[in-house]
Amino acid sequence: MHELSLAGNVLDIVAQAAAAQGFTQVRVLRLSVPALAGVEVAALRFALDALAPGTALEAARIEIDQPPGRARCADCLREVELRDRLDPCPACGGLRLRVLGGSALRVVELLVPETADAVAGEDRGAGRCA
**CB of residue 97 to Zn ion, shortest distance in Å:** 8
Q: Does 75 bind Zn ion (CB under 5 A)?
A: yes
**Which of 105, 84, 88, 106 has the alpha carbon at shortest distance from 96?**
88
Cα–Cα distance, 106 to 124 (Å, whole number): 6
In eight-state DSSP terms, residue 118 is: B
Q: How far is the CB of 55 from Zn ion (least distance, A)?
A: 44
Residue 73 binds Zn ion, judged by CB under 5 A: yes
Q: Is 71 in the site for Zn ion (CB under 5 A)?
A: no
Q: How far is the CB of 66 from Zn ion (least distance, A)?
A: 23
Kindly report the number of other CB atoms within 10 A of residue 48's CB atom. Answer: 24
Q: Which residues bind Zn ion (CB under 5 A)?
A: 73, 75-76, 89, 91-92, 94
